[in-house]
Amino acid sequence: MKRILVTGGLGFIGSHTVVELQNEGFEVVIIDDLSNSKIEVLDNIEKITGIKPDFYQLDLRSKQNVQHFFNENTIDGIIHFAAFKAVGESVQKPLDYYENNIGSLVYLLQEMRDRNIDNFIFSSSCTVYGQADELPITENAPIKPAASPYGNTKQIGEEIIKDSCTAHNMNAISLRYFNPIGAHDSIKIGELPLGVPQNLIPYVTQTAAGIREQLSIFGDDYETPDGTAVRDYIHVVDLAKAHISALQRLLDKKNKQNFEFFNVGTGKGSSVLEIVNSFEKVTNQKLNYKIVARRAGDVTAAYADTTIANQELHWKTEKSLDDALLSAWKWQESQKG
């Protein structure tokens, strides 16, 4: 049985990926520092799959911690989620973001180099493209100067991984996510934003739940059909399954270069107002919102061309936007009390 390390495995995308790994028969060990997740997620993963992953609460910013882990564990592959991910916060605290997102990546790659560990899946983001010149966005789209230190850590991270693969004959795949949303069908795991949600969907569900007074829609003067910005919202379970497909590609040595990257989205763009209307329809909840000024750093539109990911990963999305929005609402309701 292959043993896979999932860093950040108690987080939103990480926990859903752990469930899918276990469903596929992989043995999973999680490293998480609990800075943006809760230990209860570990038990909830076990409630879904019947298997409790091994767990280490470790801060990956310490090289000693990383070495200690690998002294104790034989690993066949790594899926690396652990990182700070708030775009706005990264502008206020760039050094925290570079120390954590880049530092921990380097320490992990050094252990892979020194112990001949192969098969690395990196959590990247469509944010590396900035405002793409053409839509939908293909993997050939140029990488634009990052709009935030967070986005820069994803761009720099990919470069570090590419150079490491070339120099040390390692194999890695970077998955460039669009906008992950929703929750597992069991409603036992989902998004757990700490504090005021930065992302749209948790803010929507918290507004519908009465936790937030009103949703602010950041701008309705974009060059889009209804003036609000367009994104590619992908169900988190579909996104999790893309990680399994990418890992299997490396384990089966089907990769064509030692560093590959794929856009992981639905291929469909939805505006903020379309999201609001769909949410109200599928949940029968009325959303209180107002239009306010644009948010700094937002792009007008971003949605994926999924051709390459579909072909090379033998993966495609199976869930609809309505499935994702309804699961997000059911998850929010399960958080009461």
Q: Which residues bind ligand WQD (CB under 6 A)?
A: 85, 87, 125, 127, 179, 198-200, 203, 215-218, 229, 231, 272, 295, 298
**Least distance in angstroms from the C-beta of 230 to ligand WQD:** 8
Closest CB to ligand WQD among 30 and 276? Answer: 276
Of 143 and 311, the one with the shorter C-beta distance to ligand WQD is 143
* Beta strand residue intervals within 154-267, DSSP E: 172-177, 179-181, 215-218, 230-231, 233-235, 259-264
CB of 59 to ligand WQD, least distance (A): 20
Residue 116 DSSP one-character state = T
Check 107, 150, 233, 303 and give the catalytic one.
Answer: 150
Nearer to ligand WQD, 294 or 316 (CB): 294
Nearer to ligand WQD, 10 or 87 (CB): 87
Whole-number minimum distance, CB 198 to ligand WQD, in Å? 5
Cis before residue 136, ω within 30 degrees of 0? yes
337, 200 Cβ separation under 8 angstroms: no
Could you tell me the smallest distance in angstroms from the CB atom of residue 214 to ligand WQD? 10
Using an 8 Å Cβ cutoff, are 2 and 23 in contact?
no
3-class SS at 224? coil
Distance in angstroms (rounded) separating the CA atoms of residues 239 and 196? 24
Return the SS3 of 55.
strand
Active site residue 150: yes
Residue 36 has a CB neighbour count (10 Å cut-off) of 18
For residue 161, CA distances in Å to 149, 167, 225, 264 come to 18, 10, 39, 19
Q: Catalytic positions, please?
A: 150
